[in-house]
Structures are given as C-alpha cells and as structure tokens.
Structure 1
Amino acid sequence: MTTVIDSQGNIIMAKYLISFPSAAMVVPDGEWDAVVHDAHAVIEEAKVAGVYVFGGGIDESVAPVLVSADGSFAEGGYPWAPQLNGGFTILEVPSRDEAVAWAARIAKACRCAQELRVFQYDPAS
C-alpha cells in the first residue's frame, strides 16, 4: 500500500518517480518539436492539478562527481553502477493508480515507456 494515513485519518500522499533512460527516447526525425510540446503540456497539467513536485533531464554533458563520506570527491559516479541518464518527474498523488495514470500520460507524450517507483514514506522529509 502506498497511501499513508496519519493519526487524524488524513491521507498523506506518496511521492512517485516516473523516469526513463536516454536510450528509451527513440523519436523519429521531425517529431522532436511535437514531443517537447506534448511533454511540456503534460507537466503543465500536473502543475495545475497540484501534483507536480519536480522534474527534468539529467545533463549528460556534465560528468557526475562521487563525494565520499570524508568530503573528498572525484569525477565519475560509482564505477560498478549503471550510468544514470534520461529524464524524470516526481509527482505527489494519493494512490498508485493515479501515479500509473500520470505515467501513462507522460509515456504517451514522450513516445517511450516510463518506469514508475514510489518513495518510501518518511515523516521527517
């Protein structure tokens, strides 16, 4: 169950990550303008609905920085982990069904499948 109820019986909406890797964006030439328009339209709808938290695409021209617990850092991410790229949207909605519906709208606009994940509830965050 991803909907959390507080002690007063109020629904605490869950945050969902909707994302795709760069390789999933296979858009035919001539359709990019339509994809950008359609994706921005869905994001605007999410903002108007009050469910949009944050979103964007990873800037793949900038290398990640791996920062250690002691504060030292080096360019590059974890050498053993897959590269993180692509785009993501974080929405806060009352149910998984609603999150799936928004993911479907984003998938249609972006012309590629979206992965949906829920963030664990943490009352301190």
Structure 2
Amino acid sequence: MPHYLISFDDGTMIVSPEDLPAVSEASHAVVDEARDAGVWVYGGGLLSQRASIVATDGAVTDGPYPETKAVLGGFSVIDVPTREDALAWAARLAAACRCAQEVREIMHDPAG
C-alpha cells in the first residue's frame, strides 16, 4: 500500500494554553484510531527552532530561520490503499489539531 505524509506548517496550529490539553487528547485519539486500524506508520511534532541544514559540502547551518521559510510543525505517515483514505485521515487530524493538513504520497522505493 502507498504511504502518505500528512503534515502541517509550524505556526498554523494556533491554540490557547487552556485548549492545548484538549487538542493533545483529540490528536492522540486519532493516532490511536489509526494504530487500531493498522494504518499508522509514524509521526510527531517537530521543534523547528532546532532545525539544522546540512549542505552538500557538509557545512551545517542551525536555525531558527527567517519567517519566510516554511517549516513543518508536525507530521504523520500512514499506510492506506488510496489517496481518498489518506484525505479522510487528514480531515480527522485537521479537526483534532484545529489546523489544516497537507497530504502527499511518498514515492515508492523499488529497492526497499
């Protein structure tokens, strides 16, 4: 089955400190449902301020980066048969996280 990346950009999940526990509980509930359905591969939130760029020559540049550079705030990888299934899971995550989600199919690696 194809794998899909469901993600959101850093800064798009705007939640008050009071609402954060409810959002966390709702998003973990969707993840638990995905695990129970056998489609969950991996996912998590990202600490963008700790991102590093490694250039082709091995040089490392550490973040944070200017606001013009979009960075991921969090992601999920799921294993489902169709794009429509991936979109349905993304809709559930969007509702739980209270922010839009982006869906992309991960290219199949014939060697893996």
* TM-score bracket for the superposition, by shorter chain length: 0.7 to 0.9
What's 1:42 paired with?
A: 30
Preserved contact between residue 66 and residue 77 of structure 1 (Cα < 8 Å): no
User: What are structure 1's unaligned runs of at least 5 residues?
Assistant: 1-12
Residue identity over aligned pairs, in percent, reads 47
User: Relative contact order (C-alpha < 8 Å, sep 6+): which is higher?
Assistant: 2
Preserved contact between residue 15 and residue 93 of structure 1 (Cα < 8 Å): yes
RMSD of aligned residue pairs (Cα, Å): 2.2
TM-score, scaled to structure 1: 0.77
Matched, 1:22 2:2: no
CA–CA separation in structure 2 for the residues paired with 1:23 and 1:85: 9
User: What are structure 2's unaligned runs of at least 5 residues?
Assistant: none
- One-letter amino acid of the counterpart of residue 42, structure 1: V
What's 1:51 paired with?
A: 39
Choose which of 67, 71, 85 in structure 1 pairs with 2:54.
67
Q: 1:29 to 1:65 in 2, by over 3 A?
A: closer
Structure 1 or 2, whichever has the larger Rg, is 1
Preserved contact between residue 43 and residue 77 of structure 2 (Cα < 8 Å): yes
TM-score, scaled to structure 2: 0.85
